[in-house]
Amino acid sequence: MGGRQLLRECEHRGVNSLHIPPAYLYQIIEELSAAGERAPGWIKLFITGGENISTQKLSTWATLNQHACKFINAYGPTETTITATFCEAPLDASWLADLTRLPAGRPNANTKIYVLHKDFQLLPAGIPGELFIGGAGVAWGYRNSPAATAESFVPDPFGQAGARLYRTGDSARYLVDGQIEIHGRSDGQVKIRGYRIETGEVVAAIERHSSVEKALVIARSDSRGDAQLVAYVVPRASALIDKAEVKSFIRGMLPEYMVPASIVTIADLPLTPHGKIDYQNLPAPGENELEATTDADLPRTEVERTLCAVWQSVMNIERVGVNSNFFDIGGSSLLAIKVMARVRDVFHIDLPVRVLFESLTILNFALAIEKEMNAGRLAAHSTIKPAPRNA
């Protein structure tokens, strides 16, 4: 059911409160914006939960609401009888503009929230850890699954004897005002080339781009089995996604290791029947994203052709263009060392690895190599050889 269709059905049935996943709210926002319509005045209470909500999207929702509508950001897994915390957020675009992440709020009555270190020690405000939930809403466990129950439902070291905590697997922290901020799944903090990356930070940067409606960032294994960041981007209506320009935009806010290796443009994020992101149906990055597609990308000199072959071999990709960014196509510090070793073998020159990092493209890298080779030939040609004393 479409967003506007849902609103019409609710109005017809006299419903004035909605509790839906953020992805469904995004669909409503998109359809209302495309139709040039405001949010209907009969909505008195709007609740979302299940995933972190984009403050940018919520700001758009605020501009669509010209009436008194209470908005609540709820959080809580099924194992704790659904809602464990909630935050009432003012629908004020200027207030939301200063936020990077909407808090999950405070615990409900009879609910306890703990942010713990891996050794089950309480963490102070501002320090992220794993979120545990205790209290009356914690379930008994998983039916006919004692092993899974033992792993997820653990003894409560802070409660009465026999009390248990549910281990959510979510990363969170307490804010100084006592509210809880959810950072996403603990396994959402991926490790790429030795760097720990919070994918939510990358999503927030991408969604600031004017052509992007929404985005999702995950870690996927490439053809070499190495983990790399992949961004799935949904463009705004009638907008075209220039992937190179989007990456350049991200680099203005994030370090290089947080820039996705691949950007995949999709019509919309796939959803499960329950309205959550369907990660299983996200398409893999296509090989054509790494291919040279224009004459300007084709090698012109023997050095460029040789470098293309070296990059393709070391990085295990089918084709590379002379304008391809080394990191954009899956490059890393380890692969850079391998590339430089091959360059020494092929061109018989010894360049520091920083030359590759400064060049980034084959076009620039070839110029650096040719300059070094010409300098070597000139030095060999101009060397003064000693003459025999009896000459």
pLDDT tens digits for 314-337? Answer: 877 777 888 888 877 767 766 788
Burial of residue 172, with CB atoms counted within 10 A of its CB: 0-12 exposed, 13-18 middle, 19 or more buried = buried
pLDDT at site 292: 43
State the pTM of this model. 0.54
pLDDT tens by residue, 173-188:
999 999 999 886 665 5
Query: For helices 243-251 and 199-206, what crossing angle results, to 10°?
Result: 120
Give the residue-averaged pLDDT of 261-278. Answer: 82
pLDDT tens by residue, 220-243:
876 655 678 899 999 887 788 888
Of 42-46, 247-251, 287-291, 364-368, give the lowest mean pLDDT range.
287-291
Between CA 347 and CA 370 the distance in angstroms is: 9
Between CA 204 and CA 254 the distance in angstroms is: 11
Between CA 313 and CA 331 the distance in angstroms is: 12
Q: How wide is the angle at C-alpha 207 spanned by C-alphas 205 and 210, nearest 5°?
A: 110
Give the residue-averaged pLDDT of 184-211. Answer: 78
Structure tokens at 162: 């026999």
pLDDT at site 380: 56
For the chain, domains (ranges, CATH) are 3-186 (3.40.50.12780), 193-285 (3.30.300.30), 295-380 (1.10.1200.10)
pLDDT at site 334: 66
In sequence order, what are the residues at sequence separation of 6 or more whose Cβ sits closer than 8 angstroms to the Cβ of residue 172?
Answer: 104, 115, 128, 129, 130, 131, 180, 181, 182, 183
pLDDT at site 287: 42
Instruction: Report the percent of the chain where pLDDT is more than 90.
Output: 35
Most confident by average pLDDT, 39-53, 56-70, 141-155, 377-391:
141-155
